[in-house]
């Protein structure tokens, strides 16, 4: 197993269950193990009736339609349905290996029907899987970065490690993540924008520093079939003051839909009230990436305090728009006129941030279609936003067997799981908890198939 | 207005100690994450707040049972840049609250270097009983298993009664002041019942999933909860044994020593066994505890208390075993010395954690019955 996150661990446990002897190569040292799985919090699960922590029902067809909508049709229906169906039954297996589920976290009501939350989050899940893997005799190696794969006639022979070790095996699962942490590759993929700057230079990486895409690049260069667009990714708008790596969930800014968002020219650029924030946060990363210098500012007034999840960094509390503009480095006159114009366009309505209310603007572009209320009661708050890349979608093409393909022909003993193949299902867009559903489903399939490939050998 | 706000914020910062500021910093990060909500009561209580003042911080710190689950599950734990260690930050503030709410206030400093405090208190108590025995009888001798031939009953009652009453008073005042500071309302019967249940079952050493808390690594164990139960209920049985013996003496007119099948001896033996096994196990776990858990500077306080309980029990059981031997008088002196060491340091040592923990659990039970004033919508 090459990788050390959810998909690799699921593959390792499954292969062990199927009788194989397993070595797991995690590039990170122990304290950073688990890749982006350590930052996750839930898995989207199909269910026909209420289960322990899942309310009502979430049938296959509804799940599929949700996925179809967010991906705009850039998906693979048969693979998607495999992940969806697996999600209905995999939780018992997860619990067997020590994963605990809990009722939805406060502030996540919209997910209480569809998503099962890991108690303690993804790192608790990763810890449980590592404990179980040790117990069942998986040989776990940390600081074991694989830089290349030796193939013979498209069959796996051995993995070569950065430290010079060569590890031969009868079969192999690649589950080493996307290339989100490789800024250089991101720069190459995003190129130069119309303002002459390189957008990727202003990206923040929400997860691990270890997903450099070394193995992904190597496999593509070796002739493995690829899938997806390198600029497509789960990309949220997060606080610009976040660390470059591993800022995780706490860096999100949840007040976008309650106020206005302006770019560095102090101008609005998109309908902030298009839909509920949980349905929109994943498109705002891209929206900010398309603005000059990839920065934007979410601005609210004191009416919004207490109506959104508390952010980790302070909101530059200011008693006037002049003061806020100076704190944020915006042109005060332009900001004031943007706010005035917006305030004048707000039509009276009944404000309700828990529903798609009727507070909207008229006569401005872009319009704000819900939760449009004037920004006038000091203190004012402003949060700087940057694109935060969660994970990239460029991956290796696969099918229901999770085999790696070369010129349309599946390898007999080389498989792929997790972020390295999620792009088969996620051409673009995202819906909460689908990454863990794909990782768990295809991790288990890859593990099982790798074990039987080893047996046949 | 702006200046006023800045002044208020500045004042708030200066009111908080460095350790309290650290809890404030960490809780602000946790409140934006919330993954640990299922483990214990601290995180749900946190979500009822957007900011954390001194009273909030002291309350949350004492609500934390230092189970360690949130540390091992934390994506922001060191070496992450955010460097979040909830149990450590909470433990540091807990000691500050013990110092701050100690009565008399100046005695709070006894919590610093608490290993020395407990060691000295026990040594002085031992020396005192040695002196008392020689001073009153001229020599140390045992007579037919009769404790009161060594120390007159009324002398013991007077000495222990006075110290015990003082300690309970000091703890009571600490509890009252702490409660007044963290809670603005009274408590309903239901809230009192729930907090008593949470304390007596050590609910929050269960990990939220019932598999227990963490110790040396990220794995869960129920042994800390079990050993704590042995310790606490062992202590209570010993206390019951002494209470029953007091009733025997004053109400029934029955003098010690009591028969092996009498209620005081049975209660004392079971209590003593619990108080041997419990502290032994807690010390075993404490020595193996992950160094990131809790506040390393408080280990002497924890271990001194655990050891003292162990020695009280060991000397008590030996006293029972050898009460008819010439060693009885020596064992009695040693046993009484250790018990006095505990009584003296109850309001100035680890014993007090239970008092503030119960206050925090009560506050939690009260608070969760009140409507949440925040309407944060959905993330």
* A113 lies in the same domain as A251: no
Instruction: Work out the average pLDDT over B224-235.
Output: 98
Question: Token pair of B31, please?
Answer: 């409140």
Return the pLDDT at B138. 76
Tell me the CATH number at A120.
Answer: 3.50.50.60
Contact status, residue B129 vs residue B337, Cβ threshold 8 Å: yes
List of E strands, B145-293: 213-214, 220-221
Q: How many angstroms from the chain centroid is the CA of residue A405?
A: 25
Domain end, chosen from A388, A412, A441, is at A388
Tell me if A313 is assigned to some domain: yes
* A105 lies in the same domain as A16: yes
Distance between CA atoms of residues B178 and B174, nearest Å: 6
Cα dist from B20 to A92, A321, B89, B127, whole Å: 42, 33, 8, 40
* A266 lies in the same domain as A226: no
Return the pLDDT at B142. 65
Instruction: Work out the average pLDDT over A430-457.
Output: 95
DSSP for B252-263?
A: S-PPSSPPTTSH
Return the pLDDT at A195. 87
Q: Report the predicted TM-score, pTM, of the whole model to 2 decimal places.
A: 0.95
Residues of the domain holding A443: 6-178+213-231+393-456
State chain A's mean pLDDT as an integer.
96
Residue A62's SS3 state is: helix
Which chain B residue shows the shortest CA-CA distance from A35? B75
* A300 lies in the same domain as A438: no
Residues of A with Cβ-Cβ distance to B44 under 8 angstroms? 106
Tell me if A46 is assigned to some domain: yes
Residues of B with Cβ-Cβ distance to A249 under 8 angstroms? 32-33, 35, 75
Residue A19's SS3 state is: coil
Return the pLDDT at A280. 84
A296-301 and A380-392 strand pairing: antiparallel
Instruction: Work out the average pLDDT over A197-210.
Output: 96
Backbone φ, ψ for residue B288 (5° rounding): -100, 0
Would you tell me how many other CB atoms lie within 10 Å of the CB of residue B13?
11
Q: Which of A441, A435, A445 is nearest to A42 (CA)?
A: A435
Contact status, residue A28 vs residue A35, Cβ threshold 8 Å: yes
Tell me if A185 is assigned to some domain: no
State chain B's mean pLDDT as an integer.
93
> Å from A38 to nearest chain B CA?
6
Residue B379 has pLDDT above 60, yes or no: no
Handedness of CA A229, A233, A237, A240 (dihedral sign): negative
Distance between CA atoms of residues B326 and B308, nearest Å: 25
Residues of A with Cβ-Cβ distance to B8 under 8 angstroms? none
Question: Token pair of A99, please?
Answer: 């994963």
* A382 lies in the same domain as A446: no
Return the pLDDT at B4. 67
Overall domain count for chain A: 2
ipTM of the modeled complex: 0.96
Contact status, residue B5 vs residue A379, Cβ threshold 8 Å: yes
Handedness of CA A104, A108, A112, A115 (dihedral sign): negative
pLDDT digits (tens, 9 = 90+) for A123-153: 999 999 999 999 999 999 999 999 999 999 9
pLDDT digits (tens, 9 = 90+) for B322-361: 999 989 999 999 999 999 999 999 999 999 999 999 999 9
Residue A75 has pLDDT above 60, yes or no: yes
Instruction: Work out the average pLDDT over A180-208.
Output: 95
Residue A104 has pLDDT above 60, yes or no: yes
Q: Give the least confident one: A121-130, B2-11, B66-75, B298-307.
A: B2-11
Distance between CA atoms of residues B116 and B304, nearest Å: 9
Nearest to A109 among B209, B211, B378 (CB): B378
In sequence order, the 6+-apart residues with CB closer than 8 A to the CB of B284 are none
Inter-chain CB proximity B378 and A312 less than 8 Å: no
* A10 lies in the same domain as A95: yes
Would you tell me how many other CB atoms lie within 10 Å of the CB of residue A270?
18
Question: What band does A353 get if pLDDT is binned at 50, 70 and 90?
Answer: confident
Distance between CA atoms of residues B126 and B118, nearest Å: 12
pLDDT digits (tens, 9 = 90+) for A148-167: 999 999 999 999 999 999 99
Tell me if A423 is assigned to some domain: yes
Tell me if A187 is assigned to some domain: no
pLDDT digits (tens, 9 = 90+) for A408-419: 999 999 999 999
Find out whether the peptide bond into B79 is cis, omega within 30 degrees of 0: yes
Distance between CA atoms of residues A425 and A67, nearest Å: 9
Which chain B residue shows the shortest CA-CA distance from A320? B2
Q: How many angstroms from the chain centroid is the CA of residue A48?
A: 26
* A243 lies in the same domain as A353: yes
Residue A56's SS3 state is: coil
Question: Token pair of A380, please?
Answer: 């004012």
Q: How would you list the strands of the sheet with A115-118, edge to edge?
A: A42-44, A115-118, A101-102
């Amino acid at each position: 197993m090459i990788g050390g996150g959810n998909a690799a661990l699921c593959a390792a446990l499954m292969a062990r269950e199927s009788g194989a002897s397993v070595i797991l190569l995690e590039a990170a040292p122990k304290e950073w193990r688990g890749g982006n799985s350590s930052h996750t919090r839930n898995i989207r699960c199909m269910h026909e009736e209420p289960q322990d922590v899942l309310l009502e029902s979430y049938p296959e067809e509804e799940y599929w339609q949700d996925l179809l909508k967010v991906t705009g049709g850039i998906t693979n229906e048969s693979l998607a349905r495999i992940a969806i169906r697996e999600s209905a039954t995999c939780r018992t297996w997860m619990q067997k290996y020590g994963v605990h589920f809990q009722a939805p976290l406060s502030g996540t009501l919209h997910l209480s029907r569809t998503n099962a939350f890991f108690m303690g989050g993804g790192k608790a899940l990763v810890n449980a899987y590592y404990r179980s893997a040790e117990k069942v005799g998986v040989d776990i190696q940390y600081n074991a970065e694989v830089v290349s794969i030796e193939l013979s006639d498209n069959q796996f022979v051995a993995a070569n490690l950065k430290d010079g070790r060569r590890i031969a095996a009868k079969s192999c699962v690649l589950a080493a993540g996307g290339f989100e942490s490789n800024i250089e590759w991101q720069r190459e993929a995003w190129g130069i924008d119309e303002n002459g700057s390189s957008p990727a230079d202003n990206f923040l990486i929400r997860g691990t520093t270890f997903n450099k895409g070394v193995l992904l690049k190597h496999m593509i260069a070796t002739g493995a079939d690829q899938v997806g667009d390198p600029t497509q990714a789960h990309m949220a708008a997060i606080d610009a003051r976040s660390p470059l790596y591993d800022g995780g969930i706490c860096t999100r800014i949840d007040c976008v839909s309650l106020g206005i968002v302006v770019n560095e020219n102090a101008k609005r650029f998109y309908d902030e009230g298009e839909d509920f924030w949980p349905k929109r946060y994943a498109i705002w990363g891209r929206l900010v990436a398309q603005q000059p210098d990839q920065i934007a500012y979410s601005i609210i007034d004191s009416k919004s305090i207490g109506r959104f999840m508390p952010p980790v960094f302070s909101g530059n509390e200011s008693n006037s728009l002049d003061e806020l503009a100076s704190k944020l480095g915006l042109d005060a006159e332009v900001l004031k006129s943007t706010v005035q114009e917006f305030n004048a366009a707000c039509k009276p309505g009944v404000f309700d941030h828990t529903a798609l209310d009727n507070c909207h603007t008229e006569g401005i572009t872009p319009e704000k279609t819900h939760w449009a209320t004037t920004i006038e009661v000091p203190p004012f708050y402003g949060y700087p936003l940057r694109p935060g890349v969660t994970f990239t979608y460029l991956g290796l093409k696969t099918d229901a067997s999770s085999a790696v393909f070369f010129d349309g022909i599946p390898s007999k003993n080389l498989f792929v799981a997790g972020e390295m193949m999620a792009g088969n299902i996620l051409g673009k867009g995202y819906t909460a908890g689908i990454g863990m559903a794909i990782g768990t489903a295809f991790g288990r399939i890859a593990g099982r198939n790798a074990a039987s490939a080893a047996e046949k050998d | 207005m702006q200046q006023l706000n800045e002044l208020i914020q500045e004042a708030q910062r200066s009111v908080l100690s460095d350790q309290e500021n650290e809890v404030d910093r960490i809780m602000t990060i946790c409140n934006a994450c919330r993954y640990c909500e299922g483990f214990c009561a601290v995180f749900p209580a946190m979500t009822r707040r957007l900011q954390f003042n001194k009273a909030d911080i002291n309350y949350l710190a004492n609500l934390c049972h230092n189970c360690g689950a949130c540390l091992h599950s934390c994506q922001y734990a060191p070496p992450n840049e955010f460097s979040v260690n909830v149990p450590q930050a909470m433990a540091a503030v807990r000691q500050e609250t013990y110092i701050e709410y100690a009565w008399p206030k100046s005695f709070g400093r006894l919590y610093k270097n608490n290993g020395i405090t407990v060691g000295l208190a026990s040594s002085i108590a031992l020396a005192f009983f040695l002196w008392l025995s020689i001073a009153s009888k001229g020599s140390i001798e045992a007579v037919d298993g009769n404790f009161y031939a060594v120390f007159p009953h009324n002398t013991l009652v007077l000495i222990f009664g006075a110290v015990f009453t003082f300690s309970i008073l000091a703890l009571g005042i600490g509890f009252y002041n702490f409660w007044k500071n963290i809670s603005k309302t009274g408590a309903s019967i239901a809230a009192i019942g729930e907090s008593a249940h949470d304390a007596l079952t050590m609910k929050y050493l269960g990990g939220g999933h019932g598999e227990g808390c963490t110790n040396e690594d990220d794995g869960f164990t129920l042994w800390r909860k079990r050993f704590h139960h042995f310790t606490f209920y062992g202590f209570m049985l010993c206390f019951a044994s002494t209470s029953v013996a007091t009733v025997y003496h004053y109400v029934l007119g029955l003098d010690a020593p009591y028969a092996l099948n009498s209620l005081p001896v049975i209660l004392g033996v079971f209590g003593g066994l619990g108080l041997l096994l419990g502290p032994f196990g807690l010390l075993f776990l404490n020595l193996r505890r992950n160094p990131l858990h809790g506040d390393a500077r408080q280990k002497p306080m924890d271990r001194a208390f655990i050891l003292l309980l162990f020695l009280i029990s060991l000397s008590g059981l030996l006293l029972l075993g050898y009460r008819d031997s010439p060693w009885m008088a020596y064992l009695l002196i040693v046993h009484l010395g250790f018990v006095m060491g505990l009584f003296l340091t109850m309001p100035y040592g680890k014993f007090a954690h239970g008092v503030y923990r119960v206050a925090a659990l009560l506050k939690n039970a009260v608070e969760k019955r009140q409507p949440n004033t925040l309407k944060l919508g959905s993330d």
